[in-house]
Amino acid sequence: MELDRSWPEQYLEYWMDILRLDLGYSFHLHRSVSDIIFERMKWTLLLAVPALILGAVLGALSGARAGWKSGSCIHKMETAFFLAIYCTPPYFLSLIVLYLLSFKAGLFPLKGFYSTGSAVDIAHHLFLPMTMMTLFSLSRNYMIMRGSVLQEKGSLYAAFARAKGLYDEEILFRHVFKNALLPIITLLALDFGFILSGALFIEIVFSMNGMGSLIYDALLSRDYPILQGSFLIITIMVISANMLADLLYSCLDPRVRWQ
């Protein structure tokens, strides 16, 4: 760790190691931190990225329709369902689903990412945790998109679009949807930033060796090189995701474009 050198030299050496993707050595797992993180990261990305994308797309579309037709009985029941999911702790609902569908019914594996390593086997293991992550992401995006559309549909530009003779669907998806989508982009950027740690509860419940469980185990064992490397990767992803969200803002909303 270069502790025999001065602090400026240690700091310079630390940055040189980072540029070489050398994040240190885990004194608990007795391996290179970079190798451990990249090995675990691919499984967490495989689990979380499809769930977040599906949750964002389905939540935005269904939430927009629910907000536009908020007086419909079907959409009221739909909102009550997603509100119940939104208010339920992820680990609690995951434990119930795991107990009923895996332990009792035996339809899905109880733990892990794979048994044999084939594509079908991996998909079978990932289906239940990915569904749970998608459901929670969908319910949150649904509630936020619904509230955003409710606010936007009373704006003057929506009334002007009606006065021009546009139909409801045209007003919603040609005018209201893009403005109402801005909060979803912010949340999606934060989700992608914290994607490596955001699957913590799901990975613990379903006993998956991803980044979330890696950070949790490193905290318990006080494996500081693992924690430093993980937090560095998460920080880079958060900053990159927020920069991408700012660029998307300028594409969707002309009011925030550079003059």
Residue that has been written with the tokens 């689990």 in this structure: 47
User: In terms of C-beta density within 10 A (0-12 exposed, 13-18 middle, 19 or more buried), how is residue 164 classed?
Assistant: exposed
**Which pLDDT score, from 0 to 100, does residue 259 have?**
54
**Which pLDDT score, from 0 to 100, does residue 257 have?**
65
| pLDDT tens digits, 26-55 | 888 888 999 998 888 888 888 888 888 898
Return the DSSP state at 26.
E
How many angstroms separate the Cα of 209 from the Cα of each of 24, 50, 105?
20, 18, 24
Domain spans in the chain, listed from the N-terminal domain onward: 27-256
Distance CA 254, CA 258 (A): 9
- Evaluate if residue 163 carries a pLDDT over 60: yes
**Which pLDDT score, from 0 to 100, does residue 194 have?**
67
How many angstroms separate the Cα of 147 from the Cα of each of 56, 72, 159?
15, 15, 18
Which residue type sits at 54?
Answer: L
In order, the DSSP letters of 234-255 are HHHHHHHHHHHHHHHHHHH-GG
Residue 251, both tokens: 């594409």
Residue range 6-19: average pLDDT?
89
Evaluate if pTM is beyond 0.85: no
More confident residue, 11 or 173: 11
Residue range 52-59: average pLDDT?
89
Q: Which residues of 232-245 are buried (b: 16+ CB within 10 A; e: fewer)?
A: ebbeebbeebeeeb
**Which pLDDT score, from 0 to 100, does residue 256 have?**
67
Which pairs from 123-128 meet CB under 8 Å and 24+ separation? Answer: 126/46, 126/47, 128/97, 128/98, 128/101, 128/102, 128/206
Residue that has been written with the tokens 């982009």 in this structure: 185
Distance CA 256, CA 249 (A): 7
- Evaluate if residue 217 carries a pLDDT over 70: yes
In sequence order, which residues have a C-beta less than 8 Å from that of residue 55 and are 6 or more positions away?
A: 133, 134, 135, 136, 137, 138, 140, 141
3-state secondary structure of 111: coil
Superfamily of domain 27-256: MetI-like (1.10.3720.10)
Lowest mean pLDDT among 82-91, 133-142, 211-220, 245-254: 245-254
